[in-house]
Chain A
Amino acid sequence: MSKPVTIIMIEDDEGHARLIERNIRRSGVNNEIKPFTNGTEAINYLFGSDGTGSAHKNEALLILLDLNLPDMSGIDILRRVKENRFLKYAPVVVLTTTDDEHEIKRCYELGCNVYITKPVNYESFANAIRQLGLFFSVIQVPQAPT
């Protein structure tokens, strides 16, 4: 039996985190959402105390990642996740305010699965997150290898 997907939300702005969570919930996604407000905590959780990421084998993770974090760039987290043999199967959704072409290109090059620019207009924002929630509800997430 596959475990239910856990959503790892790395977002430094608590307001954004709250809005994202609310809108995901509104779309009917009830999976566990683990929020992290800085990169270090998120890295510690993802790679575990031994730093190998083996703590999450057999788990299905979906990572929601903001690029502008206070202590590190989301891109570094993305690179490390995609280089890790346990975590690289986890879909990474980059959700950030940056719509710089170079940045977007770089994220996809590093293996990001979806890149979404946060719309400032709340209607669009809420809409985007809800659709993302719908996307989450149908997406198949593989388990990390054992």
Chain B
Amino acid sequence: MQILLLAAGLVVLVAISVASIMVVDRAREDSSLVVHTVEVENQLSTVLLEIRRAESAIRGYILISEPSLLTQHETAVIASRIAVNRLLALISDNPVQIANGNELKAAVDKRLGEFDGEIERLKRGDRQGSIDLLRAAGAAATTQRIADISTAMRREEDRLFAERTISADRSQSLASFITITGSGLVVALAGLSIFLVRRSTRARDEAEELLRDTNLNLEATVNERTADLREANEEIQRFAYIVSHDLRSPLVNIMGFTSELEELRGDIFRRISTLSRAALPDASLSENVTDSAEPILEGPDSKLSDEFNEALNFIKSSIAKMDRLISAILNLTREGRREFQPEKIDVRELIEGIASTVAHQAAEAEAQIRIQPLPDIVSDRLALEQIFSNLIDNALKYLKDGVPGDISITGRTKLGFAIYEIADNGRGIDPKDHQRIFDLFRRAGTQDRPGQGIGLAHVRALVRRLGGTMSVTSQLHVGSTFVITLPTNWNLSKQGKAA
């Protein structure tokens, strides 16, 4: 819109300029034509004047025979010829006037010829003859004709003068009209532009205000959502805590009574053994013997006992597994509720500490742990220890068989975050499992190492609580790199408050 308006203004300005130039040009032309007319009339007057001078000079000469008068006459004759030629030159643009001019020239020539005739007679001494000739000429057709033609020419020029004056006036008024209209248009366009600019400025101000409001709202919304999420998170923590806690009670019973059953089993089979023995004809052994140790069973009884044992063992191992899972959940929720204590931590020193505690495992696995210089951060020491020891443990745990392990820990800082990378040359993780390994109780790859599938879930929960992120890049059979990004300066205000 603005651009369109500006373009329109420019076009109008250009148009006005062009029109003005053209009109001014025309006005100048008109003026020069007017001037031309005046010049023609002047020239006409000059012609007539010179002829009159020639005539009066010759009259004087005839009367007093003063030779200077003859010279005067001759000068006037030449002047009149020149004047006629000039006039012809001037009127060469107008066919009507050319005709008139030619006639005038003819008349003038004739008149001048008459003068020559008079002088001729005078030279011959015929004074009276030349006076007669002079008189006759005074009233003769030639003089009259010159007067008529010049009048006609003057009239024609007067007409042209009037015409050209009107035209010049029109050009001038047109020029002023164009200038005024153009100026008016420019002013109008300028006014419109100012109005539009004002309007768009106002619109922009309003938009800015709206944006500010929206930003504030957004902040409030974000805070609200954060609070909601925090609450939801706490709810989940509480829920997990209560559930895992309450699951324990029945588990104690299951475990307890399973043990009781086991004891009962002992009693029952001891009894069966005694009875079967008593049923035998040669019950030579005394009953007391069966009270101690395992009862001696035979045939189907022994099979029964084994089956009983097997069932009990399955129940017990399942209970043990369930117990470990519940403990893991409990520990996780407890970690989620622990308040972090931020302090300045020399991360390299911390990791060297961890490396020294796993030195034995590393030596067994023929692995070396290389620790590069690492950026220090302000964070929770215990959380960092858990994060790094879990990752280093994992790296050692899942090395490739028969290949000396190489675990390197590098770090750098970027935009207020410290980035740590724990890279190994171990067995690697299939890309389809990259997300899964962070889930609780989920593991990937060959299940030939002890573990609950808790470590990485725990690590990620900790990293998140510390305001960081973690990711993994890994290729199967090549190695894995875990990348941890933590804020260099974590503080309590950022902590998800656990109620």
Residues of A within 8 A of B (CB): 13, 15-16, 19, 22, 68, 97-98, 100, 118, 120-123, 125-126
Contacts and interface: CB of A to CB of B under 8 A. Distances in A.
Contact of B256 (A97, A98, A100, A126): A126
Interface residues of B, number: 18
B259 A97 contact: no
Interface string B308-326: 0000000000000001001
Contact of B252 (A68, A100, A118): A118
B251 interface: yes
A96 to B, nearest CB: 10
10 pairs of A and B residues whose beta carbons are closest in the complex: A15-B253, A122-B255, A19-B256, A122-B259, A120-B323, A97-B248, A122-B256, A13-B249, A120-B248, A120-B251
Secondary structure of the B contact surface, majority rule? helix
Given A15-B257, A19-B256, A97 B323 contact: no
B258 A122 contact: yes
B245 interface: yes
5 contacts: A19-B252, A97-B252, A98-B245, A118-B248, A120-B323
Interface string B227-251: 0000000000000000001101111
B323 A121 contact: yes
Given A120-B323, A121-B323, A16 B258 contact: no
A13 B246 CA distance: 11
A13 B323 contact: no
Contacts of A98: 245
Contact of A13 (B245, B253, B258): B253
B253 A19 contact: yes
Contacts of B334: 100
A121 B259 CA distance: 10
Nearest to B316: A122
Contacts of B245: 68, 97-98
Interface string B82-101: 00000000000000000000
Contacts of A97: 245, 248-249, 252
Nearest to B246: A68
A121 B255 contact: yes
A143 to B, nearest CB: 33
B255 A68 contact: no
A126 B259 contact: yes
A122 B249 contact: no
Nearest to A17: B253
B323 A15 contact: no
A125 B323 contact: no
Contact of B257 (A19, A100, A121, A123): A19
A120 B252 contact: yes
B353 to A, nearest CB: 26
Contact of B249 (A16, A22, A100, A126): A16
Given A97-B248, A97-B249, A15 B255 contact: no
A120 B248 CA distance: 7
B72 to A, nearest CB: 145
A22 B258 CA distance: 14
